[in-house]
Structure 1
Amino acid sequence: MSDYSISAIGHIQSPYKQKFAIPRQPRLVPEAKAKLIFTSEFNREEFVRGIDEFTHIWLLFRFHETADKGFSAMVRPPRLGGNERKGVFATRATFRPNAIGMSAVKLEGIEYKNGQLSLLLAGIDLLDGTPIIDIKPYLPYSDAMQDASAGFADTRPETQMSVEFTPEVTSFIEQQTQYPDLLNFISNVLKQDPRPAYKKQKDGEQSYGMTLYDYNIRWQVNGEHNVVTSIEKS
């Protein structure tokens, strides 16, 4: 087995500051906006010339927060409630031999500002600071296989979760202007039900917190209903 050296070409500047609450697949939360910031070696417009002709791109990245924890031959996919084991190569789990992941995301534009080249992205599912190791255009005629099946993950994950905001939280969100889609962003993150599988089986009210952008957000879950109770600058 040969060893290969791979260096990051950039990193993701993401609203997701912790693994908790990140959607388990890309494009499930369209309001999740991010930037791909290129390293100095690739900080030239020549590297992305023509990429704006594509609406979507593939990102190959490294699971940098779990890479040093090693890998497992068998994992418990969240789609199966964490109750059944599958081979790691039959899943998109993070604990992989080379800790490499991939996401197909929407490309919203190219930015070259103050000498820094960036790609503007939407629908991401990546942690802030994630190293990007390659970019490839998404080709609908080749990459979208209409007759494909996906085993235990064959359908888009859906929940019956509803989301409510207290008047104080709603007022705070409406007054801030930095993130116009913040209310919908928070709502769609919570509709994905980011709780661990074992928590979903418990009765009674549960309280959680997460950080999105530079906001600490707290909410309560009772059955299939979320109530966002507080939001404040982190």
Structure 2
Amino acid sequence: MPASSENSGPHWTIRPIGYINSPYKQKFGVARQPGLVPAAQAYIDLSTEFTAECVRGLSDYEYIWVQFIFHATIKDGWQPLIRPPKLGGKEKKGVFATRSPHRPNHLGLSLVKLERIECNKQIRLYVSGVDFLDQTPVIDIKPYIPFVEAKPYAHSSFAHERELLTVHWSQHALNQMQFFSLDFEYFQLVNQSLAQDPRPVHQHHTDKVFVMHLGNFDVLFQFRDKTVEVTGLREHVGI
């Protein structure tokens, strides 16, 4: 991956150390920030060259930083100005003043909770509160150290906590939950993901039925004012 623009200096190659298995199978619906959807659980499979020695002591930390590549947006290039969803898509900010995936080097950084580590033939890290797209390449992992990295009173410009939407399930959707034998964890994942309002800004005034591929299922839902109604579930059929 280039460290600078073409013909402007040296370049370096960064290779993935592993890949993420996430319930978010498409860009639409992915949590906008880590930690907003605690029920979003994933795991990171490290490449087989990395042994248990590489994660010795990591389980002593509750949270970890995960550096990754926004692999699904590389083909779109990058933009110097971004319209952050929090600003209703009406105001532009510089790319380096946002967390947009459309960055010069398409690098991402997320703070996630480390649930446990399995050390078998392949090292697997279970994490929660994720905002990763499935099969995201991981390029580094570091422990989170709160006494030097937590700044709870720092000014954060337009990035502030947003009001959550109320999620309602139709009886039909609840019946399908039971039919597919889906557990409470999936119910929570859907609720927490939809409460964040995953709609693009330009579709906030439509009564269309949205479809989000979450886990192995498609979740169908509609918006009514500040309420989201889950109207149905169906098994996802890949194309």
If the TM-score is normalised by the length of the shorter chain, which range does it land in? over 0.9
Give the aligned partner of residue 62 of structure 1.
69
Report the equivalent of 1:217: 219
Q: Which residue in the other structure is 1:31 paired with?
A: 39
- Judge conservation of contact 1:15–1:32 (CA < 8 Å) in 2: yes
Q: Which amino acid aligns with 2:60?
A: E
TM value normalised by structure 1: 0.93
Amino acid at match of 1:152: F
For residue 158 of structure 1, the aligned residue among 139, 157, 163 is: 163
| CA distance 1:179–1:12, shift in 2 (3 Å) | farther
Q: How does 1:191-210 map to 2 (within 5 A)?
A: 191-200=195-204, 202=205, 205-210=207-212
Q: Is the 8 A contact 1:206 1:222 kept in 2?
A: no
Matches within 5 A, 1:47-196: 47-113=54-120, 115-153=121-159, 155-159=160-164, 161-174=165-178, 176=180, 179-196=183-200
Q: Greater CA deviation, 128-137 or 166-175?
A: 166-175
Q: Secondary structure at the match of 2:96?
A: helix
Which is worse superposed, 218-227 or 124-133?
Answer: 218-227
1:173/1:182 contact within 8 Å kept: no
Deviation (angstroms), 1:168: 2.9
The equivalent of 2:6 in structure 1 is none
* AA matched with 2:72: E
> Distance in 2 between the 1:116 and 1:58 partners?
20
* Contact 2:208/2:222 (8 A) holds in 1: yes
Unaligned segments of structure 2, at least 5 residues = 1-8
2:216 and 2:66 map into 1 onto residues whose CA distance is 24
- What is the deviation of 1:177? 5.2
Q: Distance in 2 between matches of 1:177 and 1:134?
A: 36
Superposition CA RMSD, Å: 1.5
Give the Å deviation of 1:178.
6.1
TM-score normalised by L of structure 2: 0.91
Aligned partners of 2:149 and 2:17: how far apart in 1? 23
Percent identity of paired positions between Structure 1 and Structure 2: 39
Q: In the alignment, which residue of structure 2 is the partner of 1:3?
A: 11
